[in-house]
Amino acid sequence: MTDNEVVSTWRELSARHAAIVSDLERELHERHGLGVSEFEVLDRLVDGLCLSSDGKFRVQELAAGVPLSQSALSRLIARLEKAGLVLRSMCADDRRGVFVTLTDAGRIRHSEALPTQRRVLRDHLAATSAG
């Protein structure tokens, strides 16, 4: 792969990402009052519900799935809690840790927003193979 190919691959990737994020941000915000990262976190929590017994997640577990710094994630969770979409609770076995759990409102909000996200992603990605 030549440098020019690498660069044009990068530009394409970058432009695509920007376009999708921009659309997602607008749609999710307008229709559901959520930012892209907020939705992603809710999404991880919902995904994880199937796997985890109690639906509790350490903040750091969520960090793995979302490309945000630890501080950004901490504040994001604070925002979600303030909005009533998640709860933070102490965790018994390591009292430094914080468990994050979805509230009913959070589950509902996520299920409302999910079709919107899917639609936007489909619009951008459905008929393409990354080229």
Partner DNA sequence: ATGCATTCAATGCACAAGCATTTAATGCGT
Partner DNA sequence: ACGCATTAAATGCTTGTGCATTGAATGCAT
Identity of residue 1? M
Residue 13 found at the interface with its own copies (CB under 8 A):
yes
**Segment lying near its own copies (by CB under 8 A), choices 1-9, 55-63, 82-90, 103-111:** 1-9
* Contact between residue 55 and residue 101 where contact means Cβ atoms under 8 Å apart: yes
The site that binds its own copies (CB under 8 A) totals a number of residues, namely: 25
Binding partner of residue 42 among its own copies, DNA, none, CB under 5 to 8 Å per kind?
none
Which residues, numbered 15-34, are part of the site for its own copies (CB under 8 A)? 15-20, 22
E strands present in the chain? 57-58, 86-90, 98-102
Instruction: Judge contact between 52 and 91, C-beta under 8 A.
Output: no
Q: Candidates 4-12, 50-58, 70-78, 91-99 — which segment interacts with its own copies by CB under 8 A?
A: 4-12
What lies within 8 Å, CB to CB, of 44 at 6+ separation is 57, 62, 65, 66
DSSP-assigned beta bridge partners for residue 58: 99
Task: Give contact residues for its own copies (rule: CB under 8 A).
Answer: 1, 3, 6-7, 9-10, 13-20, 22, 67, 118, 121-122, 125-127, 129-131
